[in-house]
Amino acid sequence: MQPDDIKSNILTTTLESAVNWGRKHSLWPMPFGTACCGIEFMAVLAARTDIARFGAEAIRFSPRQSDLLIVAGRISIKMMPVLIRIYEQMPEPKWVIAMGACASTGGVFDTYSVIQGVDKFIPVDVYVPGCPPRPEGVVEGLIKLQKLVETEKFSDYSTTRGK
Amino acid sequence: MLLPKIITKVQDKFPSVTLDTTQFAGEDIIHIQGSYNLDVLKLFRDNGFNFLADITAIDNLTLGGFERFAVVYHLLSHETAERVTIKAYVPEDQPELPSAESLWKTADWQEREIYDLFGISFKGHPNLIRIMNPDDFQGHPLRKDYPRLGRKERDDFPVVKRGINKEAAQ
Ligand code: SF4
C-alpha cells in the first residue's frame, strides 16, 4: 500500500461520534399506534415518504429490539401502564417521539380517561404537532431526533437508572 | 305491522308494569318498570322482535323521568324491519335489574359496559366485571355526577426516566 493510499483510506474520529453516527442512521422504531395517528404512521412508512431513506425502516414490534418509541395516538388510563412497561423494556439508548396532539398533550380529549400528554410519565424527545401530523411532519421530527442522537455523550450515561 | 298488536298485548298483560308509551321520530318507546324487563322483552322476542340491536342506559339526573336510570333496549324485527325501544327504569338507591343475557347472548358485553359506566348491575349475568375501564377503577364515569376530568385517575402513574443524565446532556 502506498503512503498516499493510506492517507485517503484512514479517517480519524472519536468513538463517540462514530457510534452516534451509526445510531442515528439506524433507528429502529417501535410504533405504539393507538388511534388515528397510528394509521397516518403507516403512510410514513409507505413509498411516498418512506423513512427507510433515514435508516428507520426496520419497524420492530418488540420493544427489546427497538430504540425509538413512536407514540402515535391517544393513551388512555388503561393503556398507560402498558406504555410505561414497553418503554422500560426497551434497552438503552432509547428515544421517544410523541406523534400528534393526543400523544403530546391529550389533544381535544380532555377527559378523565385520557392521559394529558405522555411526557407526564415518560421522557419525550421530539413532539410532532398535528392532528394527525402529515407524514412530512413525522419525517421532520425524525431528522430532529437524529440531530439529538448526534449530541448524546457517553459520559452522561449513568450507571443507576433514572438518576 | 307487528308493533301495535304487541303493544296492546303488553299493556293488557302487564298493566301496572307499563308506565307509558310514547313516540319519537316515528318510533315507539315503551316505558316499563325495570324489575319486569325480562317478561316484556320475552314477549317481544317471541312475537317477532328477534334481534337485540343495542342496550344502553340514560342517567336522568338532570332530565327528569320515572326513575334516575333508564336501561334502554333497542329491538328489531328481521321479519318486518320494525324497530321498538324499551326503556326500563331503575331507581337510584337500588340500581339493579335482571340480565337479558338469557334471552340474547349479545347482551353479555353490553350489560358489562352499562355496569362499568353507569354502575347498574344485572342479576343473573354470567360475568359482570368492568369491560372498558381498568379493573381497579373506582366509580362510574357516565353518571352525570361524575366529574368530567375525573378524580385524578389520569395523573396517577409512576414517572419513569431514561438511564442517562439528561440535564448534563443539554
Ligand atoms: S392527534 Fe388527531 S389524528 Fe392523532 S390520535 Fe389524536 S385525534 Fe387522532
| Domain presence at residue A114 | yes
- A157 lies in a domain? no
Q: How confident is the model at residue B170 (pLDDT cuts 50, 70, 90)?
A: very low
Range of the domain at B78: 5-169
Which pTM does this prediction carry?
0.86
pLDDT of residue A156: 77
Structure confidence at residue B166 (pLDDT): 54
Contacts of B84 (CB under 8 A, 6+ apart): B3, B6, B27, B28, B29, B30, B44, B49, B74, B75
Give the bridge partners for B29, in sequence order. B22, B85
Total beta-carbon pairs less than 8 A apart between chain A and chain B: 84
Q: How far is the CA of B135 from the centre of ligand 1 (A)?
A: 26
pLDDT, chain B, mean: 89
Minimal-distance CA residue to ligand 1 atom 2: A131
Which ligand 1 atom sits nearest the alpha carbon of residue A108?
Answer: 7
Q: What tens digit of pLDDT does each residue of B28-57 get?
A: 999 999 888 899 999 999 988 999 999 999
Q: Do strands B96-98 and B51-59 pair parallel, antiparallel, or not at all (unpaired)?
A: unpaired
Identify residue B39 by its one-letter amino acid code.
D
Q: Domain with A49 in it: what CATH number?
A: 3.40.50.12280
Q: Looking at chain B, which residue has its C-alpha nearest residue A149?
A: B169
CA neighbours closer than 13 Å in the CB half-sphere of residue B118: 27
Q: Span B78-99, mean pLDDT?
A: 92
Q: In total, how many domains does chain A have? A: 1
Closest CA–CA distance from residue B83 to any residue of chain A (Å): 33
**Residue B118 near residue B142, CB atoms below 8 Å:** yes
Q: A20 lies in a domain?
A: no
User: From CA B170, how far away is CA B166, in angstroms rounded?
Assistant: 7
Q: Cβ contacts (< 8 Å) between B137 and chain A: which residues?
A: 77
pLDDT at B92 over 70: yes
Tell me whether residue A139 is in a domain: yes
Q: Answer whether residue A111 shows pLDDT above 70.
A: yes
Of A112, A121, A157, the CB nearest to B141: A112
Ligand 1 center to residue A116 CA distance, Å? 13
Please report, for residues A41, A70, A108, the alpha-carbon distance to residue A73 in angstroms, rounded to integers and kept in the order given: 10, 9, 12
Q: Is residue A5 situated within a structural domain?
A: no
- Judge whether A79 lies within some domain: yes
Distance of CA A118 to the CA centre of its chain: 14
The domain tally of chain B equals 1
* Interface ipTM above 0.85: no
What's the CATH number where B89 sits?
A: 3.30.460.80
Q: Which residues of A touch B155 (CB under 8 A)?
A: 120
